[in-house]
A and B are shown apart, each in its own frame.
Chain A
Amino acid sequence: MKKIFVVIPAYNEEKRLPELIKKLRTYIPLSRMVVVDDGSKIKLENFLSKRVWVARHRVNLGKGIALRTGCDLAVKLGAETIILMDGDGQHDPGELPAFIKKLNHGYQVVFGARRLDKKMPVWRKWGNGFLNRTVAVLFGLNLCDVWCGYRAFRTNIYKKIIWDSSDYSSDVEMAVAVGLNKLKHTEHFVGTIYHDKESTTGTTLHDGLKLLIDLLFWRVQKI
């Protein structure tokens, strides 16, 4: 079995992260978990087992940069497969084996895709739909949920998909790189747990507009 690491960026998630780690233990050993504490007010390592790898940013740099730190550390530790999850417990660890199974079928990247069920806020459904279609038109990448942070990839393609974005758009930038490099990819539908309807830690309309500009910029840049 390939050496699998889970990378979890987290910011001020001292309440939800320990629960997530506890659930993850069923599927993956603690020593294969990398948590990136992105400058949380209270150190997250105080709430986690000493066996979990915790890389702490001294200042908050954003999800994209935290993901890079986590992936770099995992690669240094010899990871052959990296699974990315959000630290707020939105992603169900129970889906992890399905991601690994799909990678074992020869895919280089497996994207998580949230089911468009009633639990998903309406504005997110519309925003995601519009974004997915824009990515499909600009990059020929037909994904159902390009913004889902739950995904897995083989580390031998890490350098090809490395991202510059420091915020939530890093998920999209990564997907765009997969499309441009024509990497073998698939999707896996996942259930999502929404903790609050008016979460301020997630993406906003402003993020969406900024991302649209980024998409156009990436398209022009990669011609």
Chain B
Amino acid sequence: MILLQLLSATFGLYMLYWSFLVYKKRLIYIRELVFWAVVWVVFIGVSLLPDSTKLVLQTFKITRTMDLLMILSFMVLWLVAYRNYSDNRKIKRKLQDLVRQDAIKRAMEKKKK
């Protein structure tokens, strides 16, 4: 169990470091860094101290800490998936508008020449 806990904590630490790197490259905003930092700190905390979730487990009638982690993971995954989907749609729409406007503009300019 200790080995698995150590692995999880190392993974969490690495992800925390990665989030910081991504922020340093200005690919995410500070609020996003804070969100991910909280996610990974909680992950590390729960990995090292599984009993710390007792209160939450009792409140939500969840049997094991692992189950709680799975539920939270799915929630985060859905959030990220939806965010990716909506961002993709936004980028696609912007790209279409840009290419279309550019095509019309160049067609009209060519005729003027």
Contacts and interface: CB of A to CB of B under 8 A. Distances in A.
Using C-beta atoms within 8 Å of the partner chain, give the interface range for chain B.
10 to 19
Contacts of B106: 55-56
Nearest to B98: A58
Nearest to A64: B96
Using C-beta atoms within 8 Å of the partner chain, give the interface range for chain A.
10 to 19
Interface string A49-70: 0000111111101000100110
A82 interface: no
B100 A57 contact: yes
The DSSP consensus for interface residues of chain B is: helix
B111 A53 contact: yes
Nearest to A35: B107
Interface in A63-109: 65, 68-69, 72-73, 76
Contacts of A73: 103-104, 107-108
A37 to B, nearest CB: 8
Interface in B81-113: 95-96, 99-100, 102-104, 106-108, 110-111
B70 to A, nearest CB: 31
A156 interface: no
B107 A54 contact: yes
B27 to A, nearest CB: 24
A56 B100 CA distance: 8
Contacts of B102: 58
Nearest to A39: B99
A203 interface: no
B99 A76 contact: no
17 contacts: A53-B107, A53-B111, A54-B110, A55-B103, A55-B104, A56-B106, A57-B100, A58-B103, A61-B99, A65-B99, A68-B100, A69-B100, A73-B103, A73-B108, A76-B104, A76-B108, A166-B96
Interface of B: 95-96, 99-100, 102-104, 106-108, 110-111
Interface of A: 36, 53-59, 61, 65, 68-69, 72-73, 76, 166
Closest 8 CB pairs of A and B: A55-B103, A55-B107, A69-B100, A73-B104, A57-B99, A57-B103, A69-B103, A65-B96
Given A73-B108, A76-B108, 12 more contacts: A53-B107, A56-B103, A56-B106, A57-B103, A58-B103, A59-B99, A65-B100, A68-B100, A69-B100, A69-B104, A72-B104, A166-B96
